[in-house]
Amino acid sequence: MENFNYYTPTEVVFGRGTEKQVGELVKAQKCSKVLVHYGSGSVKKSGLLDRVFRSLDEAGISYLSLGGVVPNPRLSLVYEGISLCKSEDVDFILAVGGGSVIDSAKAIGYGVSNEGDVWDFYEKKRQASGCLSIGVVLTISAAGSEMSDSSVITNEKGWLKRGYSSNYARAKFAVMNPELTMTLPKYQTASGCVDIMMHTMERYFNQCDNMELTDGISEHLIRTVMKNAKILMEEPYNYDARAEVMWAGSLSHNGLTGCGTDGGDWACHQLEHELGGMFDVAHGAGLAAVWGSWARYVMDACPERFARFAVNVMGVADGADETETALKGIEAMEAFYRAVEMPVCIKDLGIEPTVEQLRELAEKCSHLRKRTVGCVKKLDVDDMYQIYKNALEFG
Ligand code: NZQ
Ligand code: ZN
């Protein structure tokens, strides 16, 4: 087992009606002015935003709001948020929404607490030395940003989607009421479930052994999400299924499923981020579209891990050898994606990149040939292109 730090400072307030506590939770942060940050309208339509405002009013909190965050959140709105926070002396940001809203809030927080251009952090040109405090009211189980150290932003100049991670941006608290996710469209529910599973799978596929407890937690988490994702396709108002998925979403990306590993692979996330940046696809759906192609491409580097995954997670019977078992596991995962109406190839996303665009995706993912991604197998620009190409259509 590798050495590790496990740091999860976020207070989780979980269950029915918990959004009523948000005013008191913010008050406990001893801030003087709050920016309530939200997305493109779902929280207005559901009435959640009004309930949050009421709770803040009751706690005597002074606040202003900024909506308009879109999936694959944009840098231009981050800049707007930074100016607003500076001119209004905001000292706390309350994100009411999903990963996109939370990530935008984190980016605004970096921009307020650090001089210079916030995009520098996402380009890895320098490190942040702080971030405004963030609180979360979560409305979709997916990205895990409510407990993660990450933030992913899309720069409209060049449509580059880049992530930045630091413990400064960890939320002070996360209000998680599974009922709030019942208004999600089926596609977003399924896409979120894939993302949750992938946060664990990215860590699970690595070059380590001897992680009995971490492997066991990971395998059970993925199975739990698969089971409840299928239930939610038929019963979107099933509270227990919503709750299982919501809790799995946070545990999947707060570091727990990576304890003792080498950090994991993460190639699929890097490959998907370019798809999201260039084609604005839903993150989880984009992951499902490239996973099968990635898995077949790298499987030979670590067949025993893929075979273990096939048996322990996908429940397939042992094949004649590890490679056969591994392949059966990949096919079973693709069958699951189909069962929850998720893509198994890029064309299933409703887009058809040209060969030039596939090359551009690979160039961007390799940061213009300056980096490789993945640890199961280190992937360079040619590998990336091949994986995108194989992922274009199924079979
Ligand atoms: O904007 P609104 O109107 O709220 O609509 C959203 C959006 O269209 C809608 N939605 C959210 N809650 C809803 C709802 N609709 C009805 N009822 C509700 N209760 O769902 C759509 C997707 O929302 P979004 O926040 O984009 O989803 P998600 O949480 O999947 O976040 C995706 C973003 O997070 C990044 C992704 O790359 C992507 O940009 N990630 C962030 C990570 C992190 N910070 O740790 C890790 C992840 O790997 C991921 O990369
Ligand atoms: Zn993700």
Give CA–CA dist 271/385, Å, rounded.
10
Pairing of strands 150-155, 160-165: antiparallel
Give CA–CA dist 184/140, Å, rounded.
7
Token pair for residue 60? 């005597």
20 CA → ligand 1 middle, Å? 22
CA within 13 Å, CB half, 136: 35
- pLDDT of res. 167: 98
Model pTM score: 0.97
Residue spans of the chain under pLDDT 50: none
- The residues, ordered by sequence, that sit 6+ positions from 20 with a Cβ below 8 Å of its Cβ are 51, 55
DSSP 8-state class, residue 64: E
Alpha-carbon Rg of the chain, whole angstroms?
20
Ligand 1 pocket, residue 218 CB under 6 Å: no
Give CA–CA dist 177/242, Å, rounded.
9
String of DSSP letters for 307-354: HHHHHHTT-PPP-SSHHHHHHHHHHHHHHHHHHTT--SSSGGGT----
What are the Cα distances from residue 8, in Å, to 147, 149, 176, 212, 254? 7, 9, 16, 22, 7
71 CA → ligand 1 middle, Å? 6
Left, alpha or beta for 266 (phi > 0: left; psi -120 to 50: alpha)? left
- pLDDT of res. 219: 98
- pLDDT of res. 263: 87
268 CA → ligand 2 middle, Å? 9
- pLDDT of res. 208: 73
Ligand 1 pocket, residue 43 CB under 6 Å: yes
Backbone angles phi, psi at 352, to 5 degrees: -140, 80
The residue whose CB lies within 8 Å of the most ligand 1 atoms, and thus the one to mutate among 103, 168, 272, is: 103
String of DSSP letters for 216-237: HHHHHHHHHHHHHHHHHHH-TT
- The residues, ordered by sequence, that sit 6+ positions from 254 with a Cβ below 8 Å of its Cβ are 8, 10, 144, 147, 148
What number of other Cβ atoms are within 10 A of residue 256's Cβ?
18
The residue whose CB lies within 8 Å of the most ligand 1 atoms, and thus the one to mutate among 42, 72, 106, 280, is: 42
Indicate the SS3 state at residue 27.
helix
Tens of pLDDT, residue by residue over 38-78, are 999 999 999 999 999 999 999 999 999 999 999 999 999 99
Backbone angles phi, psi at 165, to 5 degrees: -125, 135
